[in-house]
Amino acid sequence: MARDFHINGESMVYVKGRAASGLGSLVELGLSSDAINVTPEFKHKEIIVDAWGEVPVDVQWMLASLTININLIHFDRDVLDACIRESMGGPAVVGQVGRAGIRLGNNGVRFADTNKYVGLNIASPQDSKPWRFFFTYLTGQPATFPLGTEKSIVKTTWRVIPYT
């Protein structure tokens, strides 16, 4: 592979989830207003043995998660609402809160009725390699909605985990 500038270009965000969520087929969530930030968070664990003092004799890879920040400018509010509901464990409508402790994966396979994780896909006409994340959910402050007389750029924060 040759070294070159990498320009992703504009990005369309697609999502897919379980059929009962309203996300049963691959649907457009929306177009990003600017760069999408994908940030991996690697996890390692040092192996410490007394014979080596205070430095590790080796390091174990302990998986990773990712945080994805997407600012949406041209988006489908119903699809975003479905993603918010799934990330909250699947209440009937946005604004309702389910009970605490609901597991998003719930030991279910991808797209099973018990699995609330959402597949997140980022595609660009410039980039030949789309980004695909199988098990995502909106996290932290999941979405910020600026309300006013100007365009609304909704900021979303996604987390990707290695669910199996």
pLDDT band at 30 (very low <50, low <70, confident <90, very high): very high
Helices (H), the chain: 77-87
Angle at 88 between CA 27 and CA 96, to 5 degrees: 105
97 pLDDT band, cuts 50/70/90, is: confident
pLDDT(127) > 80: no
Residue 149 CB contacts under 8 Å (≥ 6 apart), including other chains: none
Q: E strands, the chain, where?
A: 12-16, 27-32, 37-47, 58-75, 118-123, 131-144, 154-160
pLDDT > 70? residue 1: no
Q: Is the pLDDT of residue 13 over 70?
A: yes
Q: Which residues contact 98 (CB under 8 A, 6 or more apart)?
A: 88, 89, 90, 91
pLDDT band at 19 (very low <50, low <70, confident <90, very high): very high
More confident residue, 8 or 135: 135
